[in-house]
Each structure stands twice: as C-alpha cells, then as structure tokens.
Amino acid sequence: MKVEYTDAPPSRPEPSAGDKMPCPYCGHLLPKDAQNCDRCDWTRAATTQTAEGKASDAVAVLFSIIPGLGHIYKGHILAGFLWMAGAVPVGIFVLLAAFASAGWGLGLFFFYLGAVMLHAYGVHDRVAPPREDEGEEY
C-alpha cells in the first residue's frame, strides 16, 4: 500500500495563468513572451498595428473639404489651423478674381482645395506610440 501526500508542492513548478496569454486569433494559451502561435497564423508583429494607430488617408482627404480638418485628423494640428487660416486670404483673392473675370475666378478655389487634399493625403500620421500596459499600480 502506497500513501501519497497530496498537499506537497510539485517537484516541478507548473506555469500559472499569469505566465500565459491567450492567442488573439484562436485562444490557445501561449507563454507571455510568445512571438507566434503554433496552432494558427498569428504573429506578434501583425497585431502591433491597431486600428487606432493609423489614420485613414481617404478620410483625411474627405475631411479636407473644409481646409485643415484632414490635417487635424492625422494629428498635425498646427498645420491644420494654418491651412484653415490660409483659406481666408485665398477666399478674398478668389472673390476679387471672380469679379474681374465674370465669375470664372471662382474656379481658383478648387486649386487650393486640391492642394490641401493632396497634402493631407501625403503627410505622415503623427500618432503617439502606444504605451505598454503595466497593469494596476498601487
């Protein structure tokens, strides 16, 4: 007859739930520092870019119908306000050109809008890198 003491600690410590993380794709438990999942095609590099991390260029162009809003959307606040402020003298020039050319000068404002939209499309996002979550601190 063999009696085993069950309250004794195991000879090899088993990894606790704090040492593991679920795979974002399939839910399989992985070590905290895992770079990929052996059951699916998840890799850590693929999930570092979040939806909030990158502004859409198409949305920035649509916002630029009001000059400067596309730049503000992409994080360039000063440039956005400068494009908005620049719309005032451009608008005055376009009105003067419209009076001088029987209305044809109104088309000049579309060149300004095109320049704003092209710049909003081409400017890089100014997004702060995500901070690493350190959990609750007491």
Half-sphere exposure of 69 (CA within 13 A, CB side): 10
In a domain, residue 18? The reply is: yes
Q: What is the pLDDT of residues 80-94, one digit of tens each?
A: 999 999 999 999 999
Q: What is the pLDDT of residues 50-108, one digit of tens each?
A: 445 567 888 889 999 999 999 998 888 999 999 999 999 999 999 999 999 988 999 99
In a domain, residue 127? The reply is: no
| Residue 63 sits in the same domain as residue 102 | yes
| Residue 44 sits in the same domain as residue 64 | no
Q: What is the number of structural domains in the chain?
A: 2
Instruction: State pTM to two decimals.
Output: 0.54
Alpha carbon separation from 45 to 25, 30, 49, 96 (Å, rounded): 13, 15, 8, 55
In a domain, residue 131? The reply is: no
